Structure 1
Amino acid sequence: MLLNGYTLEIFRSKCNAGASTLHCFAHLDDDVGAALPYLNTVLGGFSYIKEPPALTLKSSGKLITIHARKIAVNALQDEEQAKKIVAWLQREINSAWDNRGNIEPSMVGTKPPALMDVLKLLPKTNCKECGEPTCMVFAVRVVEGAKDHTNCPALQGEKKEALAHYLSRFHFD
């Protein structure tokens, strides 16, 4: 076992005091930097930095960045969700490390979705129901991994399915 434990720090954004979501840092008891290339292969991170090692990925509609001694998770509903996601990451880190002999490490992120491809699939109504000021801003948030096809209430039917299918090629949930 590489990662034995962590301490959670849960907080609201200082930049956006009215935000309804929480963020968390998991301060790791152990250095997991050596496991990140294996975790990148297993989970399909979309950004990998070699020095200092950091892996950013999207899971369950959350942006997650894993550093050698800290994990950052955004857009959490509550403390319970933070605990579940960090516990899952601990299991994934330890599993990738334990199975590293069978995993080809990767220090390359996956190609992100193309902004214009995402925008073409949106309704382009600028309705703001998603919490963003325009469909273009929403598309940027999708490319960043902060939003997905489920976060646009105006997106329905074939277009919603098409965006879900398109994003699935990029390891997006």
Structure 2
Amino acid sequence: MKHIEQVGARLAAPVLFGLVSLSASGQAGAHGALETEDVPDGIVKARIAHQPDIPGLSAIILDAPRPGILLRYQGEEPLTVLGTDGEAFIRFTRTEVTVNTESPSWKALPNQSAETSQTSWVTMSQSGAFGWLDSRLNVLHDSNSADGPKTWSIAVTTPKNGTERIEGQLTYMPIH
């Protein structure tokens, strides 16, 4: 009997969600679309066109209204992401990701912590992977430009490979 109660409890939430969703869509259809404010005219789609041939490095775009980037690094030597001013911004090793809280690129992030620490390098991940909203992927959104694709690049450096770039394109896509 206890098993049946557990299954019933697990099914209750999805069933209620479905009923509420059906009810809400009927009300919206009967009364017109809901009015909203501050809806953007479009979104920026980012894509990666070139990744450097650095062993253990992979990059993916995080699709969202404001795109981000996720890097995973399993290489033998440290990899440093350079910020918008060419400064050391994020440091990756196989087991840890640290950020330079003194970096202008870090300070410009919308979700960075206001707290300052004794050291300028703070551990953000112990997995060798980290994602962030890089301002270089937001050029079209900031300029509200629909003039066609724009390019972006993020410099990364390792002791063995020197400085290389992850490069891509940004395309503005109207919503309306």
Larger Rg: 2
TM-score range, shorter chain: under 0.3
What TM-score does the superposition give when structure 2 sets the normalisation length?
0.24
Higher relative contact order (CA 8 A, sep 6+): 2
Instruction: Indicate the structure with greater helix content.
Output: 1
What TM-score does the superposition give when structure 1 sets the normalisation length?
0.24
